Amino acid sequence: MATRKTSEPFWWLLFAAGGMVAALLVPVHLLVNGLAVPLGWTSISHARMLALAGHPLVKLYLFVLIALPLYHWAHRFRFVLEDLGLHGWRTPIAILCYGGAVAGTVATLWVLWGI
Amino acid sequence: MSDATITLEVTRYRPGHDREPHPQSFEVPFQKDWVVLDALNHIKDRIDGTLSYRWSCRMGVCGSCGMMVNGVPKLTCAAFLRDYRPGPIRVEPLANFPVIRDLVIALDDFMEKLRRVKPWIIRAEEKPVSEGEYRQTPAQLETYKQFSMCINCMLCYAACPVYGLAPAFVGPAAIALAYRYNLDSRDEGYRLREPVMSDAVGVWECTFVGECSVVCPKGVDPAAAIQRSKLAGATDWLLSMVMPWGGRR
Amino acid sequence: MSEPRVERPGLYYPKLPTTWWLRNTNYFLFMLRELSSVFIMVFLVLFLVELYRLSQGPKAYGAYLETLRAPGWIVFHVVALAFALYHSVTWFKLSGVVQVVRVGERQVPPSLVTAASFALWAVVSIVLLWFMVRG
CATH number of the domain that residue B132 is part of? 1.10.1060.10
- Chain C residue with the nearest C-alpha to that of A109: C48
Please tell me whether residues B96 and B141 are part of one structural domain: no
Q: Do A3 and B237 touch (CB under 8 A)?
A: no
Please tell me whether residues B157 and B47 are part of one structural domain: no
- C43 to chain B nearest CA, in Å? 24
Residue B248 is assigned to a structural domain of this protein = no
ipTM higher than threshold 0.90: yes
Which pLDDT score, from 0 to 100, does residue C2 have? 47
Q: Quick check: A44 and A37 in contact, CB under 8 A?
A: yes
Please tell me whether residues B231 and B112 are part of one structural domain: yes
Residue C85 is assigned to a structural domain of this protein = yes
Those of residues 6-45 in A touching chain B at CB distance below 8 A are 6, 8-10, 12-13, 16
Chain B residues near residue C97 by CB distance under 8 angstroms: 221, 223-224, 227
Mean pLDDT, range B107-134, rounded to an integer: 93
Please tell me whether residues B115 and B79 are part of one structural domain: no
- Among B60, B77, B105, give the residue marking a domain's end: B105
The verdict on A56 touching B (C-beta cutoff 8 Å) is no
| Residue ranges making up the domain that contains B30 | 5-105
B232-246 pLDDT per residue, tens = 999 988 988 888 776
Chain B residues near residue A75 by CB distance under 8 angstroms: none
Chain C residues near residue A102 by CB distance under 8 angstroms: none
Those of residues 79-118 in C touching chain B at CB distance below 8 A are 94, 97-100, 105-107
Which pLDDT score, from 0 to 100, does residue C123 have? 98
Chain B residues near residue C27 by CB distance under 8 angstroms: 161, 209, 211
Q: Do C14 and B208 touch (CB under 8 A)?
A: no
Which pLDDT score, from 0 to 100, does residue B200 have? 82
Mean pLDDT, range A89-111, rounded to an integer: 95
- Chain A residue with the nearest C-alpha to that of C82: A27
Chain B residues near residue A1 by CB distance under 8 angstroms: 116, 196
Distance CA B145, CA B204 (A): 24
Which pLDDT score, from 0 to 100, does residue B242 have? 86
Residue A102 is assigned to a structural domain of this protein = yes
Kind and range of the H or E run holding B134: none
Residue B247 is assigned to a structural domain of this protein = no
Distance CA B165, CA C20 (A): 10
Which pLDDT score, from 0 to 100, does residue C31 have? 96
Q: Do C73 and A107 touch (CB under 8 A)?
A: no
- Among B50, B77, B105, give the residue marking a domain's end: B105
B144-182 pLDDT per residue, tens = 999 999 999 999 999 999 999 999 999 999 999 999 999
Average per-residue pLDDT for chain B: 94
| Residue ranges making up the domain that contains C62 | 22-119
Q: Quick check: C90 and A22 in contact, CB under 8 A?
A: no
Distance CA C91, CA A50 (A): 32
Query: How do beta strands B5-12 and B89-92 pair?
Result: parallel
User: Of B15, B201, B231, which is closest to C2 when you measure between CB atoms?
Assistant: B201
Those of residues 47-106 in A touching chain C at CB distance below 8 A are 47-50, 53, 62, 65-66, 69-70, 72-73, 76-77, 79-80, 83-85, 87, 90, 104
Please tell me whether residues B123 and B54 are part of one structural domain: no
Please tell me whether residues B73 and B114 are part of one structural domain: no
B–C interface: beta-carbon pairs under 8 A: 79
The verdict on A114 touching C (C-beta cutoff 8 Å) is yes
Residue A29 is assigned to a structural domain of this protein = no
Residue A18 is assigned to a structural domain of this protein = yes
Q: Quick check: B118 and B40 in contact, CB under 8 A?
A: no
Residue A92 is assigned to a structural domain of this protein = yes
Please tell me whether residues B115 and B182 are part of one structural domain: yes
Q: How many domains does chain C have?
A: 1
Q: Taking chain B, what is the end-to-end CA distance rounded to the nearest angstrom?
A: 63
Distance CA B97, CA B237 (A): 33
Please tell me whether residues B196 and B238 are part of one structural domain: yes
CATH number for position C67: 1.20.1300.10
The verdict on B62 touching C (C-beta cutoff 8 Å) is no
Residue A2 is assigned to a structural domain of this protein = no
Mean pLDDT, range B5-18, rounded to an integer: 95
- Among B77, B105, B133, give the residue marking a domain's end: B105
Please tell me whether residues B130 and B190 are part of one structural domain: yes
User: Of B165, B199, B231, which is closest to A87 when you measure between CB atoms?
Assistant: B165
Distance CA B203, CA B47 (A): 45
Q: Quick check: B117 and B174 in contact, CB under 8 A?
A: yes
Share of chain A above pLDDT 70, in %: 96
Which pLDDT score, from 0 to 100, does residue B176 have? 97
Return phi, psi of residue C36, to 5°: -55, -30
Mean pLDDT, range C71-94, rounded to an integer: 97
Residue A47 is assigned to a structural domain of this protein = no
| Opening angle at CA C85, ends B160 and C110, nearest 5 | 60
In 10 A of CB A51, how many CB atoms? 11
- C13 to chain B nearest CA, in Å? 5
Residue C41's closest CA among C86, C89, C83?
Answer: C83
Q: Is B225 exposed, middle or buried (0-12, 13-18, 19+ CB in 10 A)?
A: buried
Chain B residues near residue C98 by CB distance under 8 angstroms: 224, 227-228, 231
pLDDT confidence band for A115 (50 / 70 / 90): confident
pLDDT confidence band for B209 (50 / 70 / 90): very high
Which pLDDT score, from 0 to 100, does residue B205 have? 93
| Residue ranges making up the domain that contains A93 | 10-24+53-113
Residue C113 is assigned to a structural domain of this protein = yes
Which pLDDT score, from 0 to 100, does residue C3 have? 55
Chain C residues near residue B167 by CB distance under 8 angstroms: 2, 5
Q: How many domains does chain A have?
A: 1
Q: How many domains does chain B have?
A: 2
Please tell me whether residues B213 and B164 are part of one structural domain: yes
Which pLDDT score, from 0 to 100, does residue C107 have? 83
Please tell me whether residues B33 and B119 are part of one structural domain: no
Mean pLDDT, range B25-49, rounded to an integer: 97
Please tell me whether residues B24 and B97 are part of one structural domain: yes
Q: Quick check: B77 and B105 in contact, CB under 8 A?
A: no
Outline where DSSP puts E strands in chain B.
Answer: 5-12, 22-29, 66-69, 72-75, 89-92, 99-101, 104-105
Which pLDDT score, from 0 to 100, does residue A43 have? 87
Q: Taking chain C, what is the end-to-end CA distance rounded to the nearest angstrom?
A: 55
Residue B21 is assigned to a structural domain of this protein = yes
Which pLDDT score, from 0 to 100, does residue A2 have? 39
Interface test with C, best of A5, A14, A24 (most C CBs within 10 A): A24
Residue C134 is assigned to a structural domain of this protein = no
